[in-house]
Structure 1
Amino acid sequence: MTANRDKPRSRRERPAKPALTRDCIVTAAVGIMRAEGLRKVTMRRLAQELDTGPASLYVYVSNTAELHAAILDEVLGTIEPPAAGGDWRERLEELLTAYTVVLFANPSLARSALAARPSGQHYLNLIEALLALLDEGGAAPAQAAWGVDLLLQFATATAAEQATRDQSADAPDEWDDLVHALANTSGRTHPHIAALAPQLTSGTPQERLSWGLRALVNGILHTPGPEGNKP
């Protein structure tokens, strides 16, 4: 009597793969980024994860840049909006700090965010919340419109800079070299540096982020918008 052998299953008997959607593609991309880093999030790697061909993905995502922007938008969905009430400046700083913290937690995404241009719902929600807070604080519409871009640029650059330093093995030595160079600068050739050397490197990243945001908000409120930007 011959032993039973598994017969090849026809394609019709195999379970059907879940239909591709933009949402499932972005979810899979976020998973790859968190496990392997943003650099590994390519169309080829994503197609492998989803058991499909790269060409199938282009129906939903035009290119890698758009995919990275979609990942950023998805991650922004984890930001909790500040509670209503209280000082509008504090809520604005809380929201932008939360945005920065999200990028801190995803170093490769922080650097990509400097060039990425997300346009998804979570990014639009963030802009809407910032505009509402600036409006509450009395910012003119034209100044608020340009001010939001400035605030996000500063927060994004801060996160990208810190993320890069955190991943660099040489960062502590480079920082020590900078502190030493400033402290030993000649007051004859560089009098302002010599006078302010301790202040130039003082403060924690959070303190500097907070001060920078407040300085920008003050500037947004008091700097008239250009003529061409008036509503």
Structure 2
Amino acid sequence: MPPRSRRERPAKPALSRAGIVATAVRLMNTEGLERVTMRRLAQELDTGPASLYVYVRNTAELHAAVLDEMLGTVDLRPVRAPGDWRDRLVDVLSSYSDVLFEHPGLAQSALVARPSGRNYLNLLEALLTLLHEGGVPDEQAAWGVDLLLQTATATAAEHSTRRGLPGTADEENTLAEALRTASARTHPRLAALGAELLTGSGGERRRWAFHALINGTLRTPRRGT
């Protein structure tokens, strides 16, 4: 069958930043973020990589845009819900961690990406609103929100990366045995707390960590510490 002429082919949709990011998100969901490069994206859009640079400067900016798009799925409803402000703040942070946890590449990218889109700004506004509601001084909230997001991001990146790796369960069992059998003579505190070090589910430990950081942000002034 002879090839169709260019005039006979259906016209390609016009490129746009929104369309490029939407295609990148779809590729991430099917192939992983590490496969979302400018070259792969251009192939998917049936265009040349050079045409994408009009809308996205480089792969780092593309990944930041993908991250911002996914942040639109973070549950911000706790901001307006009743209940203790700390618990509602933890709910938002937990939702953020869950979004990253579902996409290991995205979680790794979030460690270094600097999104500046609407969804990221909405997340920051939600966290700062809850810290303000709790009476956290503004200057402490400004630094504390960064620390809270760093912890949520690092936790998601660590656990999503380790999930499914061969030997992970064996490593955890080996550590548990080492803690359980620590000598009271050489490691008295480990011997006393060895079993306690590994208690609690991942969700319980994550919520406790957030509460510890929130309480520390509330009570730790930026000056004279």
Aligned to 2:83: 86
CA shift in 2, pair 1:8/1:101, >3 Å: closer
Does the residue aligned with 2:10 lie in a helix, a strand or coil? Answer: coil
Q: For the Cα contact (< 8 Å) 1:82–1:94, is it kept in 2?
A: no
Aligned to 1:113: 110
Q: Structure 2 length normalisation: TM-score?
A: 0.94
Aligned to 2:19: 24
- Looking at structure 1, the residues matched to 68 and 136 of structure 2 have their Cα atoms a distance apart, in angstroms, of 26
Aligned to 2:56: 61
- Looking at structure 2, the residues matched to 8 and 183 of structure 1 have their Cα atoms a distance apart, in angstroms, of 71
- Looking at structure 2, the residues matched to 199 and 185 of structure 1 have their Cα atoms a distance apart, in angstroms, of 13
Identity, % of aligned pairs? 62
The aligned runs of 1:191-210 (5 Å cut-off) are 191-210=188-207
Displacement of 1:174 in angstroms is 0.5
The aligned runs of 1:81-230 (5 Å cut-off) are 81-83=76-78, 84=80, 85-226=82-223
Pick from 28, 37, 44: which aligns with 2:32? 37
Displacement of 1:14 in angstroms is 3.0
CA shift in 2, pair 1:188/1:7, >3 Å: closer
Structure with max Cα Rg: 1
Displacement of 1:117 in angstroms is 1.1
The alignment's C-alpha RMSD in Å is: 1.5
Q: Residues 145-173 of structure 1: CA distance to partner in whole angstroms, max 9, x if unpaired? A: 00000000111111111112213111100
In the alignment, structure 2 segments of 5+ residues that lack a partner are: none
Q: Structure 1 length normalisation: TM-score?
A: 0.92
- Looking at structure 2, the residues matched to 9 and 114 of structure 1 have their Cα atoms a distance apart, in angstroms, of 47
Q: For the Cα contact (< 8 Å) 1:43–1:64, is it kept in 2?
A: yes
Query: Is 12-21 or 103-112 further displaced after alignment?
Result: 12-21
Query: What is the one-letter code of the residue matched to 1:137?
Result: G
- Looking at structure 2, the residues matched to 133 and 184 of structure 1 have their Cα atoms a distance apart, in angstroms, of 44
Query: What is the one-letter code of the residue matched to 2:87?
Result: E
CA shift in 2, pair 1:21/1:212, >3 Å: same
In the alignment, structure 1 segments of 5+ residues that lack a partner are: 1-5
Query: Is 100-109 or 125-134 further displaced after alignment?
Result: 100-109
Query: What is the one-letter code of the residue matched to 1:44?
Result: R
